[in-house]
Amino acid sequence: MEILRSQKKISAQAAIPTLPVYRSAPSLEVRLEDFELFAIDRLRVLTGISNGLSRGKKPDEMEKLGNDLWKANMRHHDSSRMLDKDIISHFVLRLVYCRNEELRKWFLTHETKLFEYRFRVESVESQKALMAEIGFPYTAVGIGELEDMRENLNQVARSIGRQMLTSDALFFKVPFEEVPELISGRKVYIHKGFAYVAMNQAVNIVTGMFRSNLSKGLVLTNRKWTTTLKEQEKDRLTPIVEALSTSYLGPDYSQPKEYAEISIKDIDKVASSSFPLCMRHLFEKLREDHHLKHGGRMQLGLFLKGVGLNLDDALAFWKAEFSQKVGSERFDKEYAYSIRHNYGKEGKRIDYTPYSCQKIISSTPGAGDQHGCPYRNFSKENLEAALSKMGVSSRLMGDVMDKVKNRHYQLACTLTFEAVHASSCDSGINHPNQYFIDSQKILQAKVTNSTTVKNETT
Amino acid sequence: MTKEEIDNDRDDMMIDEREQQGFPLMQCVQEEFDPEQLKFYYGRLFPYADIYKWMSYGNDRKHPACDLSYFGRREFSFILGNDVYLRYQSFNSAAQMENSIKSKCPFKIDIGAVYSVDPAKRNAYAGENAFTPVEKELVFDIDMSDYDDVRYCCSGANICQKCWPLMTIAIKVIDSALREDFGFTHILWVYSGRRGVHCWVCDARARRLNNAQRAAIADYFHVYKVGNENSRKKVFLGGPALHPSLVRSYQQVLRPFFEEDLLCGQSLLETEEKFEKILEMIPDESITAKLRGEWLGNHHRSSNSKEDINRVRWEKLKSHLQSGKQKWLRRCIEEIIFSYTYPRLDMGVTKLTNHLLKAPFCVHPKTGRVCVPIDPKHCEEFDPMAVPTLSSLKKELDTPDLENGEGKKFESGRTSLDKSLTVFRLFLDPLLKSCKEEMEISYNAKLQQSKSSLTW
């Protein structure tokens, strides 16, 4: 890629299948808009996969989902540029997600899954080509040996509920150490230290190799990023790259649209009925301590803006609390600016967007901070106490805590939403303001329902 | 939890808790365990040189390819008489190990992993990964107390001639799978001194397995499922057919032992209580009702017959299941036999590289029996009740005609422990030979490499 000046250039590879293995960054010219847009499209695919996985979809459903997402987002109007888009977006996201362990792990997991789904739908011929390209080191079992083993291989196939071997069946002879997941379920025939791995089982090895190559690549990219690129590109690519990792791809909640503004007097009521736990916690802490540190003010302040609190009300709201602690004079001097700043009335005059779940989850609150995602940051006991205060029954509590244990914080929040509202939330919670709006929708529908019922009965 | 507590927790995990707790209500105390006799055993009989040779894996010679630090990075741990637990002991030579064991006189010696650095000096190395286990034998631990639902002769820590065949089965099944399936050759089986057996797989390839690979092998052998009260199935055999490895175990070991030994030995179908447990595993009500009716009714008649009642009933049960039209009913026969015979592993011991396991030739403090090696080729002949004990060994040495011989050196050759040492060397000699060969090969390869890089 021309933009990444220091990346190695390689000669165009001949006859690449439609699925690249991303060995090294290609020498392509990329327009700056494409740089970002392609990356966002790929990110939609990866986030979609992530959502699907955390919902516990089965492997075959995931394979379909992955390929559907790919078709929906990664097409290019110029079909000859589809492969370019694929490769460019991959390498841009490498830059975006190389920068810390958590980002790397997320990217590694989902990019590997994506590769697996795409690999599985390739033809056997192109699968073979890909395996060669990725450096799959095991050779196929010869026909003679296969004949000797046939009875045992068939027996294994039947034992795991697979079809009998076809005449052109392809098996690889792999040291058993390389395929622990196939050994543990007795899913392969093993003889004298070698596992006889069928083509469809070899996918695990191939994706494992893809993953480890990518993992090494990410570490190298990170080194390059921190030593040279970040500084070199500080006016051009760096801002794009840094924004992309926390970018949120759902609807825009910066302007309250569907619901009228809320006023200060209603705020306590809606806080207890419709705020997600992260905001509720900040809100209660503010009422209790009459103070919040910067991270908390940003998280709650922008959320309230999205909810529909106008600037004047926001100033009055924050002042009412803060002045009890720091005095109204100090509030005007030190804190009012940043509130007006959030509303785009100071400084760069950008109308800031409320934080998405992804951004809140990835924040790292320090001592005295109250912001961040409670599902992630609270202790088990504190979280359970907070949830039961919100009205989550002990029956549903276990489900929520289960999701927390498996680090599916957004799903935990979604389950909480469903428990509190006694109503399903199919889209899942991706944004605190979405939580608020969905909650209001349900509550208002209930109000209208009960009034119509009343009207009918009278 | 503080970091220290977590570390402690982790340490605890490595210890086999059941071995630790002791059994105050032991019913089969064969003899009093006398610490003085243990001192005598360590002083005159414990085979230090053999253990050292084994644990060195050929790294104790003057060959340039030897890793002289190898033995010194092995963790040993001692449990002393007063229940003091000493972990991370390490020794630089056979003499040092001998002196330490003689002076501390441990009731139990455990062998752990070979670490990246000398475990005794582990605190001197900073950094997370400076002190990590790098090698250990692949080990298995099988305890008779896990078989309490399928043996009626004893329970808990007790064993007898009637239930010991279960251990013989375990040795045969695991030993053949390790050799045939995984291709291992250097396998040591040891009587654990009371109610079970231990297995040490010592091939270089086995010693270098990581935790995931060890767990995979443990799962490969995992058929018996504990703790599901709601399911009548005790074993999970997989899909519509058996895996070839299970087929081999079934045909060569499980079925013959079940039908020729355990069925009558444990009288598995004799009383209502016992046959009900087997009938429970048959999901077809019409068959179980028929069998139950016959067995409850003609109890007296069949007792006249010369044939053993268990065998008669088993044949009846089999013919009913085999004549059934549904194929899956035939599977029941396999399931019953697997439930009553297939080895039940202590999975945790196998899964972790740094898990400790009791050393061979220890003396079990509850029974006084020496943990002697078992020859897997002749494991049917092994009798746990006849192994040398501290007092039998003492007696052998004290017998006048044996004491006529002079010189300490020959003493161990004059006790019944001698036979056990022969078994141990059957394992050790080929192991050391192949260690030597492997070392030679890798050394020559290195030489070749450096030569070719020189010519360059």
- Residue B110 falls in the annotated catalytic set: no
CB A354 within 8 A of CB A305: yes
Are A183 and B220 a contacting pair at CB < 8 A? Answer: yes
Q: Do A163 and A282 sit in the same domain of this protein?
A: no
Residue B257's pLDDT is 97
Q: A74 phi and psi, to 5 degrees?
A: -105, 10
Residue B12's pLDDT is 41
For A215-232, the DSSP string reads HHHHHHHHHHIIIIIHHH
With contacts defined as CB-CB under 8 Å, which chain B residues touch A177? Answer: 205, 209, 213
With contacts defined as CB-CB under 8 Å, which chain B residues touch A189? Answer: 243-244
User: In chain B, which residues fall in CATH 3.90.920.10?
Assistant: 35-222+345-400+413-445
Q: Do A350 and A420 sit in the same domain of this protein?
A: yes
Mutate to test the interface with A, among B173, B243, B245 (most CBs of A within 10 A): B243
In whole angstroms, give the CA distance from residue B330 to residue B322. Answer: 5
Q: Chain A: nearest CA to B205, how far in angstroms?
A: 9
Q: Do A83 and A178 sit in the same domain of this protein?
A: no
Q: Which residues contact A343 (CB under 8 A, 6 or more apart)?
A: A305, A311, A314, A351, A352
User: Among B352, B115, B14, B356, which residue's Cα sits nearest to residue B214?
Assistant: B352
Residue A257's pLDDT is 54
CB B45 within 8 A of CB B392: no
Q: Do A151 and A167 sit in the same domain of this protein?
A: yes
Residue A454 lies in a domain: no
CB A36 within 8 A of CB A254: no
B254/B223: higher pLDDT: B254
Residue A3 lies in a domain: no
Residue B5's pLDDT is 40
Q: Which residues pair with B77 in a beta bridge?
A: B110
Mapping DSSP onto H, E and C, the string for A137-149 reads: CCCECCHHHHHHH
CB B59 within 8 A of CB B70: yes
Q: Where are the beta strands (DSSP E) in B80-137?
A: 85-89, 108-115, 133-135
Are A184 and B216 a contacting pair at CB < 8 A? Answer: yes
Residue A416 burial by Cβ neighbours in a 10 Å radius (0-12, 13-18, 19+): buried
Least confident of B93-107, B268-282, B288-302: B288-302
Q: Do A69 and A196 sit in the same domain of this protein?
A: no
Query: Are β-strands A189-191 and A171-175 bridged in parallel, bridged antiparallel, or unpaired?
Result: unpaired
**Helix axes A124-134 and A199-224, enclosed angle (nearest 10):** 40
Residue A165 lies in a domain: yes
- Residue B11 falls in the annotated catalytic set: no
CB A219 within 8 A of CB A117: no
Share of chain B above pLDDT 90, in %: 66
Q: B231 phi and psi, to 5 degrees?
A: -105, 140
In whole angstroms, give the CA distance from residue B331 to residue B321. Answer: 9
Q: Chain B: nearest CA to A361, how far in angstroms?
A: 24
B55/A438: higher pLDDT: B55
Mean pLDDT across the stretch B238-244? 83
In whole angstroms, give the CA distance from residue B257 to residue B342. Answer: 11
CB A184 within 8 A of CB B220: yes
Q: What is the ipTM of this complex?
A: 0.86
Q: Do A285 and A349 sit in the same domain of this protein?
A: yes
Q: Do A384 and A235 sit in the same domain of this protein?
A: no
Q: Do A173 and A192 sit in the same domain of this protein?
A: yes
Are B245 and A160 a contacting pair at CB < 8 A? Answer: no
In whole angstroms, give the CA distance from residue A338 to residue A336. Answer: 6
**Minimal Cα distance from B215: which residue of A?**
A184
Residue A255's pLDDT is 57
CA distances for A235 relative to A238, A242, B228, angstroms = 7, 12, 63
Residue B448's pLDDT is 86
With contacts defined as CB-CB under 8 Å, which chain A residues touch B246? Answer: 186
In whole angstroms, give the CA distance from residue B295 to residue B272. Answer: 8
Q: What is the pLDDT of residues B310-338, one digit of tens each?
A: 999 999 999 988 887 777 788 889 999 99
Residue A349's pLDDT is 63
Domain count, chain A: 3
With contacts defined as CB-CB under 8 Å, which chain B residues touch A180? Answer: 212-213, 215-216
Q: Which residues contact B387 (CB under 8 A, 6 or more apart)?
A: B191, B369, B370, B372, B420
- What mean pLDDT is reported for chain B? 86
Q: What DSSP element (H or E) covers B17?
A: helix B17-21
For residue B159 the two structure tokens come to: 């064993």
Q: Chain B: nearest CA to A202, how far in angstroms?
A: 17
In whole angstroms, give the CA distance from residue A323 to residue A340. Answer: 17
Residue A19 lies in a domain: no
Query: If pLDDT is split at 50, 70 and 90, which confidence band does B215 have?
Result: very high
Q: What is the pLDDT of residues B143-168, one digit of tens each?
A: 999 999 999 999 888 999 999 999 99
Which of B279-311 are b and which e, b meaning 16 or more Cβ less than 10 Å from the residue's Cβ? bebbeeeebbeebeeebeeeeeeeeeeeeebbe
In whole angstroms, give the CA distance from residue A249 to residue A44. Answer: 7
CA pseudo-torsion sign B390, B396, B402, B403: positive
Mean pLDDT across the stretch B213-240? 75
Specify the length of chain A in residues.
Answer: 458
Q: What is the pLDDT of residues B369-410, one digit of tens each?
A: 999 999 999 999 999 999 999 999 988 887 755 443 444 444
Structural domain harbouring A151 = 134-203
Q: B200 phi and psi, to 5 degrees?
A: -120, 115
Q: Do A90 and A47 sit in the same domain of this protein?
A: yes
CA distances for B421 relative to A126, A192, B158, B383, B407, angstroms = 59, 29, 26, 16, 19
B23/A455: higher pLDDT: A455
Q: Do A185 and A212 sit in the same domain of this protein?
A: no
Q: Do A55 and A160 sit in the same domain of this protein?
A: no
- Residue B141 falls in the annotated catalytic set: yes
Residue A1 lies in a domain: no
Helix, strand or coil for residue B113? strand
Mean pLDDT across the stretch B131-136? 94
Mean pLDDT across the stretch B105-126? 92
Q: Do A332 and A221 sit in the same domain of this protein?
A: no
Residues lower than pLDDT 50 in chain A: 2, 4-16, 258-259, 456-458
User: Among A41, A43, A10, A39, which residue's Cα sits nearest to residue A27?
Assistant: A10
Residue A71's pLDDT is 93
Given this structure, which CATH class describes domain B35-222+345-400+413-445? alpha beta
Residue A256's pLDDT is 56
In whole angstroms, give the CA distance from residue B138 to residue A96. Answer: 42
CATH number, residue A90: 1.20.930.80
Q: Which residues contact A37 (CB under 8 A, 6 or more apart)?
A: none
